[in-house]
Amino acid sequence: MKVNKKVKQELLGNFKGWRKELIGMINEYIKEMKGAETVEELMRIKRNMLIGLVYNLPLRSEHCYFCISNERELGNGCSACEYGKIHGICWHIGSDYDRINQAQKKLSDTIKLYYYKDDEKYEE
């Protein structure tokens, strides 16, 4: 399958926008870390940053070649999606994309549960 140059350009533009947002988010967490006075504060901020990074993985439709191509170029939607033919339609329960989203949520929940709890105190 040959790349559609217009779709590729839109996809690259979307990734550039995502990168800018991601860098901005990381910079905000770093700024918050600079003001931390305890290890507990640093751990809380880092936990929140990890969750933010997981949440902001580029998994939305604007980061998918096929979504851009099907909607904007072909006007076919998901029913004609080449990716969907192999992996299942993304929004269908049990598709590979659904499994990725479930794993993303599980990773975020796991970080919330195990990385750092707000009532933890470390000894000097």
* Number of neighbours of residue 123 by Cβ within 10 angstroms: 4
Res. 76 pLDDT band, cuts 50 70 90 = low
* Degrees, nearest 5: CA angle 118-113-55: 100
Structure tokens at 28: 């905000």
115-124 per-position pLDDT tens digit? 999 999 998 7
3-class secondary structure, 81: coil
pLDDT (mean) for 19-43 = 98
pLDDT (mean) for 95-101 = 97
Does the pLDDT of residue 66 top 80, yes or no?
A: yes
What are the structural domain ranges in the chain? 5-114
